[in-house]
């Protein structure tokens, strides 16, 4: 069966919406599903959750991006494989893709993050999917209990444009009538961008948030959101699920799942500040957005 989001049901009445994903794969009804609502009063402080180590995220020079509308989200893959380690992870993990989940522009922008904190959702959510560095691909990673790790960043609507390099433009070339675009983005310099606190995050064991809903995914959900302007966030709602005559790609998120017997851990306030190169993570987001909307 074909899976879809609730926002697609009127156009594709026979597709399986999130409530019925378990009919496609039974794992989607498992006990360790994502996303979840993080209740801060119930999180457990874990002193071993130090700041993550980021390798290869401080990209210099031109960078190639494979940008794809896969019918469910906007996905990007890098020509290189940045890595993460530390932060309570027992191994190093290499990035294989990043993608977004978002809401819809109405009278006001309705939030579309997948995770929530104390019941509050953000405008969007960015996922950077990693697999163990010694494994070849996601299929191989799913065969290992610690094979997949995802970084999640909330994106909220701010009063100012995140940086001058983002230009509102047409997203018509992201309709599904083309599949993959390779674009080269020049190195960008951001000496004064906001210093995001990457030392504070939540950690729990969950699943991928789309079928096959593979479990035993190590989730790192950062507290501090990235800010984009309303104009920038709204650009995503101009993408279509299919061709230009199809439904706009909106509300492409899975509802929160039961926590069940799991615990959510918190890194707390750490005296160790992230190394300077970690702060290059935010321009990575900028690379993607400026590529999509030129």
Per-residue pLDDT of 206-232, as tens digits, reads: 999 999 999 999 999 999 888 888 888
Give the mean model confidence (pLDDT) for residues 117-133: 96
Residues marked as catalytic: 72
On whether the CB atoms of residues 62 and 287 are closer than 8 A, the answer is: no
Which helix (DSSP H) or strand (DSSP E) does residue 204 occupy?
Answer: strand 201-207
**Taking Cα atoms as reference points, which of 158, 157, 228, 222 lies closest to residue 196?**
222
Is the pLDDT reported for residue 147 higher than 90? yes
Is the pLDDT reported for residue 282 higher than 70? no
How confident is the model at residue 158, as a pLDDT? 79
* CA dist., res. 112 & res. 123, Å (int): 5
pLDDT digits (tens, 9 = 90+) for 149-204: 999 999 998 765 444 333 333 344 455 444 444 444 444 332 223 345 788 999 99
Question: Domains (ranges, CATH) in the chain?
Answer: 32-292 (3.10.200.10)
Q: Which residue has the tokens 């995802």?
A: 150
Task: Determine the 3-state secondary structure of 13 from DSSP.
Answer: coil
How confident is the model at residue 104, as a pLDDT? 93
20 contact partners, CB below 8 Å, separation of at least 6:
none
Question: Are β-strands 148-157 and 124-132 bridged in parallel, bridged antiparallel, or unpaired?
Answer: antiparallel
Helix, strand, coil shares of the chain, percent, nearest 5, are 15, 30, 55
Give the mean model confidence (pLDDT) for residues 50-77: 78
* CA dist., res. 207 & res. 213, Å (int): 6
Is 197 buried (19+), middle (13-18) or exposed (0-12) by CB count in 10 A? middle
CA 192 to chain centre: 24
Give the mean model confidence (pLDDT) for residues 109-119: 96
Give the mean pLDDT of the chain.
81
Q: Which residue has the tokens 């939030």?
A: 111
pTM of the model: 0.86
* CA dist., res. 26 & res. 28, Å (int): 5
How confident is the model at residue 180, as a pLDDT? 47
> DSSP for 95-134?
EEEEEEEE-EESSSEEP--SSEETTBPPSEEEEEEEEETT
Helices (H), the chain: 138-141, 230-235, 281-292
> DSSP for 199-262?
T-EEEEEEE-SSTT--EEEEEEEESSPEEE-HHHHHHGGGSBSSSTTS-B-----PPP---TT-
Asked if the bond preceding 291 is cis, omega within 30° of 0, the reply is: no
Phi, psi of 22 (to 5 degrees): -65, -15
CA distances from 220 to 9, 81, 198, 265 (A): 31, 18, 10, 10
Is the pLDDT reported for residue 288 higher than 60? no
Is the pLDDT reported for residue 91 higher than 60? yes
Give the mean model confidence (pLDDT) for residues 85-92: 95
Question: Residue 290: which pLDDT band, with cuts at 50, 70 and 90?
Answer: low
* CA dist., res. 190 & res. 68, Å (int): 26
On whether the CB atoms of residues 125 and 116 are closer than 8 A, the answer is: no
């Amino acid at each position: 069966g074909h899976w879809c989001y609730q926002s697609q049901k009127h156009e594709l009445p026979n597709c399986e919406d999130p409530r019925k994903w378990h009919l496609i794969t039974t794992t989607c009804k498992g006990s360790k599903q994502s996303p979840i609502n993080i209740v801060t009063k119930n999180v457990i402080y874990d002193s071993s959750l130090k700041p993550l180590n980021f390798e290869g995220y401080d990209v210099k020079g031109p960078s190639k991006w494979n940008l794809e509308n896969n019918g469910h989200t906007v996905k990007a893959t890098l020509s290189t494989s940045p890595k993460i380690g530390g932060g309570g992870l027992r191994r190093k993990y290499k990035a294989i893709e990043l993608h977004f989940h978002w809401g819809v522009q109405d009278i006001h922008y309705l939030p579309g993050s997948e995770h929530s904190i104390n019941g509050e959702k953000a405008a969007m959510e960015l996922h950077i999917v990693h697999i163990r560095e010694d494994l070849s691909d996601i299929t191989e990673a799913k065969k290992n209990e610690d094979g997949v790790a995802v970084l999640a960043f909330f994106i909220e609507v701010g009063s100012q444009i995140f940086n001058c390099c983002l230009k509102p433009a047409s997203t018509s070339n992201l309709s599904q009538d083309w599949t993959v675009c390779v674009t080269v983005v020049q190195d960008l310099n951001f000496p004064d961008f906001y210093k995001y606190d990457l030392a504070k995050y939540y950690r729990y064991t969950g699943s991928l948030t789309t079928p096959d809903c593979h479990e035993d995914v190590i989730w790192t959900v950062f507290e501090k959101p990235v800010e984009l302007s309303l104009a920038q966030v709204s650009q995503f709602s101009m993408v279509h699920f299919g061709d230009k005559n199809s439904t706009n790609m909106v509300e492409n998120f899975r509802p929160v799942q039961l926590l069940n017997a799991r615990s959510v851990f918190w890194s707390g306030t750490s005296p160790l500040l992230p190394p300077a190169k970690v702060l290059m993570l935010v321009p990575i987001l900028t690379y993607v957005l400026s590529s999509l909307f030129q």
